[in-house]
Amino acid sequence: MHYFDYNSTVPVTSDARTAWTNANAEHWFNPSSPYLQGSSVRVRLDEARASFASLLGCQPKEIIFNSGATEGNNTAINYFSRTCERGKRILVSSIEHPSVREPASRLDKEKIQWVGVGSDGVVDLELIQDQITSGCIHAVSVMAANNETGVIQPWMEIQDICRSTGTLFHCDAVQWIGKLNCKDLGVVDFVTGCAHKFGGPKGCGFLKIPESSDHVSILQGGAQEGGYRAGTEDYPSIISMLAALNVANPIDSKLRDSFETELSRLVSGIEVVGGDSLRLANTSMLIMPQFENHRWVNRLSRRGFLVSTGSACASAKEGPSYVLKAMGIAQESASRAVRVSSSSSTDSHTWQLLAEAFCEVFLELQAEKPSSGIIAV
């Protein structure tokens, strides 16, 4: 099997698995318990929090451990809604992950302003700056890098604009963390991260919040996580998440670029979405010249190559990708979109095998005759 869906989820690394196993064997006590064993886990939890803060470049008390990015994104959007004054709006990009789009779309229409992207997949920075400097924007939510196309957003420039005007900024950095340097993320007000996107366990993540966040309320109950999020902390998963991030390696885009060149040679008519933009080095969103994407995915899967059609969190919903639609890509073309995403361990030989598998599938699909009325997938 050759896995090419790393933007969806990443297998747990050996370091993360070892950390989780050891913590469950030796440090399974409740961090809030008053006896020595519980206090020992509390100390280790605080050390893990300090390590995450150091990686992001923020203060330990600004790190809230949670269940993952969906919870973190919902928390940020709901906080913006509660604190938004009448007459002001929350600016959200049209290509955000469903865990941002859905809670935002459920707010009063007067509170939300959507900002589009160009054909390159990049948000309209000039519009964002104009809106923020006009004084009518309470908060902004723009992701660091898109999960479908891999296109990198100008989040650092947006952060500078927001900081200079006192505007709150939330950045979904799920696809950034573990692939690129995350040191500068600490200056952003709200940052969401998710362990299973970089080799940690599922059901674990974090939300970076501003130092002064009196109205941030996630779960009520006990006083865990500084009183922001009640519930016994899952220390084994947290230390496993940290272990995974500590061994995350950068990815060289040369392998992906060579794959795209070779595939374009083997299968004419392929379009690389966002090909002229800065992208995550592991991601390639392809518009195939013919045939719907689910047929490509199924045929490649039979050959042992696991690819996707886009966001796993949006795959259960009918219709083409809203990200591609926002980029001006026609529905028919979007229905032929296939996403490939690799890891730092994916070598050039495996990329070459994938290109050849695409070519085999293309020839196979072309050879089939739909006149029988039954088209195999």
Helices (H), 139-287: 155-165, 235-246, 253-266
Nearest by Cα to 205 from 166, 169, 244: 244
Does residue 19 contact residue 44 with C-beta atoms inside 8 Å?
no
Q: Is residue 168 within 8 Å of residue 190, measured between CB atoms?
A: yes
Query: Which pLDDT score is estimated for 94?
Result: 97
By C-alpha distance, which of 360, 171, 191, 151 is closest to 272?
Answer: 151
pLDDT score of 321: 92
Looking at domain 2-9+250-372, its CATH superfamily turns out to be: Aspartate Aminotransferase, domain 1 (3.90.1150.10)
Per-residue pLDDT of the chain (377 residues; tens, 9 = 90+): 999 999 999 999 999 999 999 999 999 999 999 999 999 999 999 999 999 999 999 999 999 999 999 999 999 999 999 999 999 999 999 999 999 999 999 998 889 999 999 999 999 999 999 999 999 999 999 999 999 999 999 999 999 999 999 999 999 999 999 999 999 999 999 999 999 999 999 999 999 999 877 668 778 888 778 888 878 899 999 999 999 999 999 898 999 999 999 999 999 999 999 999 999 999 999 999 999 999 999 999 999 999 999 755 555 555 679 999 999 999 999 999 999 999 999 999 999 999 999 999 999 999 985 644 445 66
**What burial class does residue 377 get, using C-beta atoms within 10 Å of its C-beta: 0-12 exposed, 13-18 middle, 19+ buried?**
exposed
Element (H, E) at 272: strand 271-272
Backbone φ and ψ of 232, nearest 5°: -60, 125
DSSP state of 11: P
- The residues near 105 (Cβ < 8 Å, ≥ 6 apart) are 112
Which residues are tagged catalytic?
313
Tokens at 345, concatenated: 């361990």
pTM: 0.93
Q: Which CATH architecture has domain 14-246?
A: 3-Layer(aba) Sandwich (3.40)
Quote the tokens at residue 290: 């013919």
Q: What is the pLDDT of residue 318?
A: 57
Every domain of the chain with CATH number 3.90.1150.10 lies at 2-9+250-372
Q: From residue 199, give the alpha-carbon distance in Å to each of 147, 160, 194, 367.
A: 16, 31, 10, 40
Residue 163: the pLDDT is 95
pLDDT of residue 377: 64
Q: Encoding tokens for residue 341?
A: 């995403």
Q: What is the pLDDT of residues 231-282, one digit of tens each?
A: 889 999 999 999 999 999 989 899 999 999 999 999 999 999 999 999 999 9
pLDDT of residue 223: 78
* Pair of tokens at residue 57: 């470049």
Residue-wise pLDDT for 52-73, tens only, equals: 999 999 999 999 999 999 999 9
The amino acid at 246? N
pLDDT at position 314 is 53
Residue keyed to tokens 């902390």: 233
Q: Which residues contact 213 (CB under 8 A, 6 or more apart)?
A: 79, 228
Residues 6+ apart with CB under 8 A from 367: none
Q: Which helix (H) or strand (E) holds 21?
A: helix 14-26
Q: Are the beta carbons of 83 and 212 closer than 8 angstroms?
A: no
**Rounded Cα–Cα distance for residues 83 and 140 (Å):** 13
